[in-house]
Amino acid sequence: MKETQQPESWESAVGFDPHRVRQDFPILKETFRRGRQGERSVPLVYLDNAATTQKPRPVIQAVVDYYEHANANVHRAIHTLGDRATELYEASRRKLARFLGAASEREIVFTRGTTEAINLVAAAWGRTFLNPGDEILLTEMEHHSNLIPWQLLAREKQLTLRFIPFQADGTLALEHLDRYFTPRTRLVAVTHMSNVFGTINPIKAIVAAAHRFDVPVLVDGAQSAPHMPVNVQELDCDFFALSGHKMCGPTGIGVLYAREKWLEAMEPYHGGGEMIRSVWLDRATWNDIPYKFEAGTPNIAGAVGLGAAVEYLSAIGMENIARYERFLTRYALERLREIPGVRIFGEAPERGGVLSFYVGQIHPHDVAQFLDAEGIAIRAGHHCAQPIMRKLGVMATARASFYFYNTPEEVDRLIQSINKMKEFFGNGF
Ligand code: PLP
């Protein structure tokens, strides 16, 4: 049987039926009116999941229930609603600790998302441990979120940034990994899965090398945690950042996992309420971890929604999700490659469901606009990774990205629409 042949039963092949789980997502039933008089109705095909994912009913309901039955501030109110809100918020922390395989929920800090989690490490860990002349090792395939915080810190502290290059196939040049380390290397910060190439980087090997040099590792898990099983203790990483909205959760909530020893040793990030123990006019002492890093009223409803999201994902099974997305990605790649003139960026053997491509000479924005007229949502742009675009010699790419609720039939619609676009643009193609 061909790897991309559809099974008789999705349940037995991948453990769940993607057509059935779609019923949990109200927005996937959206249709759009198209044509001059709006005479044509096209159903939504949502293929922009690397940017943000859609939300299933249990997540939406958890947020509604929180506001209808438990809304209060956490950790401070001496009343029943305050207890309810605190219990829900802390229950979500425990769910996230379990989801990531953390040793303790004390290692889970709620943030606004991956971006804030990385900024937290850059500011708090960097402030505490880095000195002029120190080096941070990044890669050329980082999202701006895992680049700019280090650039800012490098400017402030006179640090040097070094980069592991990526190769033509979208994989990192890791053959002689040790040579990137110098006696001044203090931290490695690397993406688990590229949001441009879909490449899944060998984090365990990178961590093992870094730890041989006694260098901690931060993993940008924005694109991995939603799509594959992640166990931070198995990865052995020191920091791991994720965004709730990329994994069926609400926007404005994410997590920084950090080893307890680092959270204990780091200076706080933001100052304010909640993160203190005792305050005088001229000084203060800090709360226990993780609260020391959660200044101010947190996004309680967001945390509750994210807790519901990881429960939902775990019920489907992260292994099952990864297996299904591998199938869908192989299928989409096979079909895309059949279209003459389509160029795909990223050919890593270990990859997730992010496909960056060019259609002939057509500008990616035109590709996205044409597809939108067909009801298909993809991303076009630099994907917050301008250095990658520069190295590839393009301004932008089109990007289709999948989640477990996408189907082979939706891939077929994408392919049909690209073929239609080819006819539409004629010679320009
Ligand atoms: N890192 C990667 C690899 C991403 O793909 C993204 C978002 O696209 C981010 C970081 C930033 O995530 P957020 O905007 O949710 O903070």
Q: What is the pLDDT of residues 112-169, one digit of tens each?
A: 999 999 999 999 999 899 999 999 999 999 999 999 999 999 999 999 999 999 999 9
223 lines ligand 1 (CB under 6 A): yes
191 lines ligand 1 (CB under 6 A): yes
Query: Are 191 and 118 within 8 A, CB to CB?
Result: no
Q: Is the pLDDT of residue 332 over 90?
A: yes
pLDDT recorded at residue 428: 61
| One-letter amino acid of 411 | V
User: What's the longest Cα–Cα distance across the chain?
Assistant: 73
State in Å: Cα 384 to ligand 1 middle: 8
Please tell me which residue in 295, 384, 386, 394 is annotated as part of the active site.
Answer: 384
Q: What is the pLDDT of residues 393-410, one digit of tens each?
A: 999 999 999 999 999 999
- The C-alpha atoms of residue 55 and residue 401 are separated, in whole angstroms, by 16
Please, which residues bridge with residue 286 across strands?
276
Backbone angles phi, psi at 286, to 5 degrees: -100, 150
- The C-alpha atoms of residue 113 and residue 429 are separated, in whole angstroms, by 39
18 lines ligand 1 (CB under 6 A): no
Token pair for 418 = 């690209």
Query: Are 399 and 378 within 8 A, CB to CB?
Result: yes
pLDDT recorded at residue 3: 78
Separation of CA 232 from chain center = 15
Backbone angles phi, psi at 275, to 5 degrees: -90, 0
Catalytic status, residue 248: no
State in Å: Cα 373 to ligand 1 middle: 27
Segments making up each domain of the chain, as ranges: 18-54+317-428, 58-315
- Identify the band that residue 1 occupies on the pLDDT scale cut at 50, 70 and 90: very low
Task: Compute the mean pLDDT over every residue in the chain, rounded to the nearest whole number.
Answer: 96
70, 71, 77, 422 from 82: Cα distances, Å:
7, 8, 5, 59
302 lines ligand 1 (CB under 6 A): no
pLDDT recorded at residue 5: 87
Which of 148, 246, 403 has the most ligand 1 atoms within 8 A of CB, as the residue to mutate? 246
pLDDT recorded at residue 426: 80
| Residue pointed to by tokens 């393009």 | 394
CATH fourth-level superfamily of 18-54+317-428: Aspartate Aminotransferase, domain 1 (3.90.1150.10)
Q: How far apart are the first and last CA of the chain?
A: 34
Query: Are 370 and 417 within 8 A, CB to CB?
Result: yes
CATH architecture of the domain with range 58-315 = 3-Layer(aba) Sandwich (3.40)
224 lines ligand 1 (CB under 6 A): no
As a whole-number percent, the residues of the chain with pLDDT over 90 amount to 95
Query: Are 305 and 244 within 8 A, CB to CB?
Result: yes
- The C-alpha atoms of residue 92 and residue 95 are separated, in whole angstroms, by 5
Closest ligand 1 atom to residue 114 Cα is 16
Which of 197, 243, 401 has the most ligand 1 atoms within 8 A of CB, as the residue to mutate? 243
Q: What is the pLDDT of residues 379-396, one digit of tens each?
A: 999 999 999 999 999 999
- Identify the band that residue 330 occupies on the pLDDT scale cut at 50, 70 and 90: very high
